[in-house]
């Protein structure tokens, strides 16, 4: 089977397509022929981390977390050969930029019947992040008023659609050039992060910083008394934001940071929303596995709406 394995070390390792032996499965696992995946910002960190394992002699490192494909062999009572499944591997585990992958039964559910492999394969990591932030941590309720930053990114676009599924009133933060797409996703109000501020009088039942650019201090004046601020990473891109985020996490009970995990019950919710036509992510671009590096370059460049898909033929 072919896989995109990491070559080189440090900040700019490359991928090389290699033929590897088919992986072997154990009890509770599936062997999946993977047809689609996507690139995620965490790939950049995993690329650096796993490339160091190359240096230590652990070769053929494969990253990637999203998958969608067909079960080739099953040692699980939940799935049988031929089932079409989608899901994600744990972030540190990776392994999905490959034709054949080993999947624990708790990392997958049946693919949404109405979506293609590609449409389904771009959902899991960002969809689960949005679901776990809004529902498991944020306890979102029907018709809540919600603010979502990065509302046209992968996590944000998922969050907007999941919140609208509960008839929430959604304010989305994105760049001015993406205003129309934010509206199409379902945002009732759009705030341009380059030129506008959140209206001083605005208060929300839930603020989800899907972009991972804001601190609790940035948002606290906009939280209702019992509201929560949930972020994907806080403002950890710079030292000052890192310190503020760490302090807020220690001291502020209203602030939480999500740590996405594969969970089949949550995936099932995403499948149901997709089948109810309430979840469909915009596809900004698609690359074959052989052009994974170009996909990562486009993701790092930014400015896209939705997801970058990877096809594995």
**Can you give the binding site for ligand NAP, defined by CB under 6 A?**
40-42, 126, 129, 149-150, 152-156, 173-175, 178, 193, 210-213, 232-233, 258-260, 302-303
Residue 30 or 173: the one with the smaller Cβ distance to ligand NAP is 173
Residue 37 or 149: the one with the smaller Cβ distance to ligand NAP is 149
The two three-digit tokens of residue 13, written as one number: 């390792």
Q: Residue 92 CB, nearest distance to ligand NAP (Å)?
A: 11
The two three-digit tokens of residue 222, written as one number: 């906009």
Q: Residue 113 CB, nearest distance to ligand NAP (Å)?
A: 25
Cα atoms in the 13 Å half-sphere on the side-chain side of 309? 23
Cα atoms in the 13 Å half-sphere on the side-chain side of 268? 5
Q: Residue 160 CB, nearest distance to ligand NAP (Å)?
A: 11
Residue 82 or 302: the one with the smaller Cβ distance to ligand NAP is 302
The two three-digit tokens of residue 109, written as one number: 């559910």
Q: Given the structure tokens 């948002």, which residue do they identify?
A: 219
Q: Residue 64 CB, nearest distance to ligand NAP (Å)?
A: 14
Residue 73 or 170: the one with the smaller Cβ distance to ligand NAP is 170
Residue 30 or 185: the one with the smaller Cβ distance to ligand NAP is 185
Q: Residue 165 CB, nearest distance to ligand NAP (Å)?
A: 18
Q: Residue 88 CB, nearest distance to ligand NAP (Å)?
A: 10
In sequence order, what are the beta bridge partners of 310?
A: 37, 287
**Rounded CA gap, 256 and 90, in Å?**
20
Residue 34 or 38: the one with the smaller Cβ distance to ligand NAP is 38
Q: In terms of C-beta distances under 8 Å and separation of at least 24 residues, what long-range contacts does 41-46 make, across chains too?
A: 41/299, 42/91, 42/125, 43/296, 43/299, 44/296, 44/300, 46/91, 46/92, 46/94
Of 138, 134, 112, the C-alpha closest to 123 is 112
Residue nearest to ligand NAP (CB): 153
Q: Residue 194 CB, nearest distance to ligand NAP (Å)?
A: 8
Residue 25 or 173: the one with the smaller Cβ distance to ligand NAP is 173
Q: Would you state the torsion angle of the CA atoms of residues 251, 174, 151, 292, taken in this order, to the nearest 10 degrees?
A: -100
Q: Given the structure tokens 């310190």, which residue do they identify?
A: 243
- Which residues have CB under 8 Å from 45's CB, separation 6+? none
The DSSP H or E segment spanning 51 is helix 42-55
Residue 149 or 161: the one with the smaller Cβ distance to ligand NAP is 149
Q: Residue 161 CB, nearest distance to ligand NAP (Å)?
A: 13
Cα of 236 vs its chain's centroid, Å: 18
């Amino acid at each position: 089977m072919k896989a995109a394995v990491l070559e080189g070390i440090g900040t700019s390792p490359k991928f090389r397509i290699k033929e590897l032996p088919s992986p072997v499965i154990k009890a509770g696992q599936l062997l999946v022929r993977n047809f689609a995946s996507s690139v995620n910002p965490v790939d950049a960190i995993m690329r650096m981390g796993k490339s160091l394992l190359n240096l230590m002699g652990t070769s053929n490192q494969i990253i990637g977390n999203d998958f969608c494909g067909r079960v080739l062999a099953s040692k699980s009572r939940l799935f049988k050969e031929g089932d079409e499944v989608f899901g994600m591997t744990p972030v540190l585990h990776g392994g999905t930029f490959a034709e054949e992958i080993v999947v624990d039964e708790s990392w997958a559910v049946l693919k949404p019947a109405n979506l293609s492999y590609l449409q389904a394969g771009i959902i899991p990591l960002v969809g689960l992040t949005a679901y776990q932030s809004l529902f498991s941590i944020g306890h979102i309720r029907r018709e809540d008023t919600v603010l979502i930053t990065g509302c046209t990114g992968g996590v944000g676009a998922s969050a907007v659609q999941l919140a609208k599924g509960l008839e929430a009133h959604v304010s989305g933060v994105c760049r001015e050039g993406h205003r129309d797409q934010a509206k199409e996703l379902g945002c009732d109000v759009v705030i341009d992060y380059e030129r506008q501020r959140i209206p001083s009088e605005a208060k929300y039942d839930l603020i989800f910083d899907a972009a991972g650019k804001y601190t609790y201090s940035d948002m606290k004046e906009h939280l209702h008394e019992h509201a929560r601020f949930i972020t994907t990473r806080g403002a950890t891109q710079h030292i000052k934001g890192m310190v503020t985020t760490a302090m807020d996490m220690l001291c502020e009970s209203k602030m939480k940071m999500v740590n996405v995990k594969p969970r089949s019950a949550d995936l099932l919710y995403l499948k149901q929303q997709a089948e109810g036509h309430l979840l469909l992510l915009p596809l900004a671009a698609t690359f074959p596995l052989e052009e994974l590096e170009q996909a990562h370059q486009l993701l790092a460049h930014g400015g896209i709406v939705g997801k970058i898909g990877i096809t594995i033929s």
